[in-house]
Amino acid sequence: MKQHILIGLSGGPSAAINASMAGVIKAAVESSHYDKVYGALHGVEGVLAGEIIDLSPFSTDEQLSLLVQTPAMALGSCRKKLTPDDFPKVEEVLCRYEIGVFFYIGGNDSMDTVLKLSRYLKEKGSPIQVVGVPKTIDNDLPVTDHTPGFGSSAKYLYHTMHEIIRDSEIYPVKNVVIVEIMGRNSGWLTLAGGLPMFLGGVYPQIVSIPETPFDECAFLDTIREELKTRHTVICAVSEGIRTKDGSYVGMETKSGAVDTFGHVYLSGVGKYLEMLVSREIGCKVRSIELNVLQRCASHLASKTDLDEAVSIGKAAVKAAEDGKTGIMMVYRRTSDAPYTIEMDAVDVAQVANLEKKVPEKWFNLYDESVKQQICTYLLPLIKGNVTPICDETGIPRYVNIRSIHEERE
């Protein structure tokens, strides 16, 4: 007897998460194991609320192609931390819809959900499988070589940094530009912002990641030294850079608010450093907080990223067909030249609530061999341009599953 499957999305958006969902839908529709494909609106919050929709109208080749190029999260998202009281409710909804496999696509906190829910169902003797599909622009999930969504965000940062560099150089005026890049505890995205320098350019002269202590005096000294010979200094800094004692730089600029998983909302370090440079050096200075723009800029999506995201969604269905549960799909890099990867599945306990940080061997970002290693790692992930499907005005077409569902209701 064929089973039904359910797909949920969780955490922050990216340019590739819908591509992974498209991969799951396509593989499930073509599988002899599965019948209906359902989607949960707003992740596990939607499961708990019984907000489940039929995704069969979106399983045509045309709809799937549009879904692949649609940024953000077509089913909506959540940041819900399941409590012990939630598990029976989730199980009841899954049983009501005769779900055989629940595919949950997300990052670190989402894999915590996959781990806990799969363990609960196993202890209850339930045959329902739970399969995690990775997603995070932060690239901080362990085991996997990289994560869907990271390549597209890295490409956006590389291009945007080049544009900022050219904009900042045009006037013969001493000036400093501080670009704040996402990254709470890991600096992978900031490394992408540093690519123009790693590839042999002058800018950005300063690249600061959370893994290495930030020294305000050294920061100011570097700027002063650079301004002796250049008009422009450009800095790429992670939002989560910390001082030697572990405190976030410019902590007084943070709101102090935390999410349901206890993570402090970060932003404002760029503005803090702008004020510091203005006060201590006195030159023209501006800070640029890229904020949500770097998360899912589909106009600069990496073709490699989207293609791999679709493939890992398909691989997740194959893993489910093989009876696996309590797993997360991963990429394993098998070669740098030419760049090749394989899809695999690992016990989600190896991933949930853990982080992959920039390795210590790369901490000296100005060493030539380190620059080369970073480029070897990053460049294949941003390769390839996407030609969007557009309407008659030239605007890309997107799928809006929630609005279409609401119209049909």
Which pLDDT belongs to residue 250? 87
Burial class of residue 259, CB neighbours in 10 A (0-12, 13-18, 19+): exposed
* Distance between CA atoms of residues 22 and 320, nearest Å: 16
Mean pLDDT of 176-181: 98
Is the separation of the CB atoms in 32 and 66 below 8 Å? no
Instruction: For the chain, give every domain's residue range.
Output: 3-149+298-355+383-408, 163-294
- pLDDT, residue 2, reads 82
* 310-338 tens-digit pLDDT: 999 999 999 999 999 999 999 999 999 99
CA distance 370 to 23: 35
User: Taking each helix axis from N to C terminus, what angle separates 17-30 and 61-69, rounded to the nearest 10 degrees?
Assistant: 160
DSSP string covering 117-146, please?
HHHHHHHTT---EEEEEE--TT---SSSSS
Query: How many beta carbons lie within 10 A of that of residue 43, not counting itself?
Result: 26
pTM of the full predicted structure? Answer: 0.94
pLDDT at site 404: 58
Residue 374 near residue 137 (C-beta atoms within 8 A): no
Query: Over the stretch 60-110, which tens digit does the pLDDT of each residue have?
Result: 999 999 999 999 999 999 988 899 999 999 999 999 999 999 999 999 999
Nearest to 19 by CA among 315, 310, 396: 310
Q: How far apart are CA 38 and CA 57, in angstroms?
A: 11
pLDDT at 161 over 90: yes
Residue 237: the pLDDT is 98
Contacts of 270 (CB under 8 A, 6+ apart): 178, 179, 180, 237, 239, 287, 288, 289
Annotated binding-site members for substrate: 136-138, 182-184, 239
Tell me the Cα Rg of the chain.
22
Show the CA angle centred on residue 328, arms to residues 322 and 331, nearest 5°. 95
Which one is predicted more confidently, 1 or 328?
A: 328
Quote the mean pLDDT of the chain: 94
CA pair distance 209, 190, nearest whole angstrom: 7
Residue ranges of the binding site: 12, 108, 136-138, 182-184, 239
Q: Residue 383: is its pLDDT beyond 90? A: yes
Nearest to 44 by CA among 15, 17, 83, 13: 83
CA torsion sign for 188, 193, 196, 201 is: negative
- For the cut 70, the answer to whether the pLDDT of residue 253 exceeds it is no
Backbone region of residue 230 per phi and psi (left: phi > 0; alpha: psi in -120 to 50; beta: other values): beta
Q: Cα–Cα distances in Å, from 57 out to 61, 62, 151, 365, 404?
A: 11, 11, 29, 49, 10
Residues belonging to the active site = 138
| Pairing mode, strands 206-208 and 3-9 | unpaired
CATH 3.30.70.1400 fits 3-149+298-355+383-408, yes or no: no
Split at pLDDT 50, 70, 90, the class of 254 is very low
Which pLDDT score is estimated for 407? 53
Q: What is the pLDDT of residues 263-298, one digit of tens each?
A: 454 568 999 999 999 999 999 999 999 989 999 999
Known binding residues for diphosphate: 12
Tell me which of 3.10.20.30, 3.40.50.460, 3.40.50.300, 3.40.50.880 is the CATH number of domain 163-294: 3.40.50.460
What is the DSSP secondary structure assignment for residue 233, as one 8-state letter?
E
Within 8 A by CB and 6+ apart from 111, the residues are: 132, 134, 141, 328, 348, 351, 352, 353
- Evaluate whether 3-149+298-355+383-408 and 163-294 have a shared fold: yes
**CA separation for the pair 57, 63 (Å, rounded):** 8
- Measure the CA–CA gap between 222 and 398, rounded to whole angstroms: 45
* Res 259: pLDDT: 47
Token pair, residue 137, equals 């622009």
Nearest 5°: phi and psi at 133?
-115, 125
